Structure 1
């Protein structure tokens, strides 16, 4: 795969951004990365414009410190409290992130799908996982060692910008979810959660939510009871906003719930 070469000005700009990014994430002395363990990584994909970079294909060329792993549905990828030394990229499937309180109450803090990263808190220096990651469907993920990711961010500014853009978008989503929880009714929160799960705004066509998505799971995402979820799901179905067809098929008209006052 080839693409147009970046101008020298663009390359310099990307390099500057990559150095800034590495200063944010790095907690290791650069001199400790000896050449024997770290063969210099140069990839043709680093010459591509940002929008043409496929992280999955890019990471496949890195080699050492990268591992493809498969997880069956409901398998734990990592648990709250585990040592935090790697991050992950989802090639296929859906993963939920959960947190359990000291009193045993579990909350779902996010559901991720293909092309999402997770476990990136290791890049901020956290020694232990603050959430658990569990496969909601059969999943294929790429596990990336922290020190390998640091090296990639240093030497491949286009990938570094792609990763930073992802983190910024994730931060926006977290802020929106917090405002949603504070300001909106449970009906609107459920509608928003369903639209996000169906990849509206990302996919052109409606996407079937994973088969087996229970109302208990939706209730945990929204922060309400199963009875309220059941009530609103029936209401949405009667209004023609969604259908049950081997899963939950979301129609674009569900967005009207978010606009109603």
Structure 2
């Protein structure tokens, strides 16, 4: 599908026409969309806001494994035979989400090729991100992992100009996502600010100099612990 064709297809308008099996849901900040262990019987599409995905181990330890943005799906595991949710999702800010039952989602994928292609592109992108995250965890230092996460949150490498990280993301959340401690994140964030890689002005703004430091493996950001 060409970029022009993609721009003509609006998933929000398409889902609004699917009257049976879809529901528009509004969530306040910190509201739980679904919890780990709940029945998995629907897929969700984000219209507005950001959703945090976290998992809890048998020992009760929590870890943030992703932040989902507008235009992304979550809860798609039900299409792959998962009877229960394997994660908990919460709203990081006010969110508008379309809930699509499993049956309605399968029917939409069969009836609308453009929607099917959109969903496939999302799955491929998500799979690539998971592979990149695994490589990041295996081979990069926590400092490099934080730099990469900040670049991702600021949309570097995606279509359009980089944007400030408008959603409030705590240092605890950043630490959970890269597998380190909050004190280490605080140390690295202060270092990045002093080097001019980021600025604070009520929100985090990431500069292109951070991208260059990561891409060209500059010594300012250490490659090992």
- TM-score of the aligned structures, taking structure 2 as reference length: 0.91
2:190 is aligned with 1:253:
no
- Distance in 1 (CA, whole Å) between partners of 2:213 and 2:188 is 11
- Distance in 2 (CA, whole Å) between partners of 1:120 and 1:198 is 25
Equivalent residue, structure 1, for 2:135: 179
Equivalent residue, structure 1, for 2:17: 61
2:89 is aligned with 1:159:
no
CA contact (8 A) 2:92 2:167 kept: no
2:179 is aligned with 1:223:
yes
Q: Structure 1 runs of 4+ off > 4 angstroms?
A: none
- Distance in 2 (CA, whole Å) between partners of 1:173 and 1:153 is 23
CA contact (8 A) 1:86 1:146 kept: yes
Equivalent residue, structure 1, for 2:43: 87
Shift of 1:149: 0.6
- Trace 1:85-234 onto structure 2 (pairs within 5 A): 85-234=41-190
CA contact (8 A) 1:211 1:246 kept: no
CA contact (8 A) 2:137 2:145 kept: yes
2:217 is aligned with 1:235:
no
Shift of 1:210: 3.5
Shift of 1:211: 4.2
Give the 3-state SS of the residue equivalent to 2:143 in structure 1.
helix
Shift of 1:50: 3.8
Equivalent residue, structure 1, for 2:220: none
- Distance in 2 (CA, whole Å) between partners of 1:121 and 1:213 is 26
Shift of 1:106: 0.4
CA contact (8 A) 1:50 1:161 kept: no
Aligned residues: 215
- Distance in 2 (CA, whole Å) between partners of 1:208 and 1:69 is 26
* Alignment RMSD: 1.5
CA contact (8 A) 1:98 1:108 kept: yes
- TM-score of the aligned structures, taking structure 1 as reference length: 0.79
Shift of 1:154: 1.0
- Distance in 1 (CA, whole Å) between partners of 2:209 and 2:29 is 31
CA contact (8 A) 1:95 1:135 kept: yes
Unaligned runs of 5+ in 1: 1-5, 7-47
The structure with the largest alpha-carbon Rg is: 1
Shift of 1:49: 3.0
Shift of 1:177: 0.4
Unaligned runs of 5+ in 2: 218-222
- Distance in 2 (CA, whole Å) between partners of 1:58 and 1:252 is 36
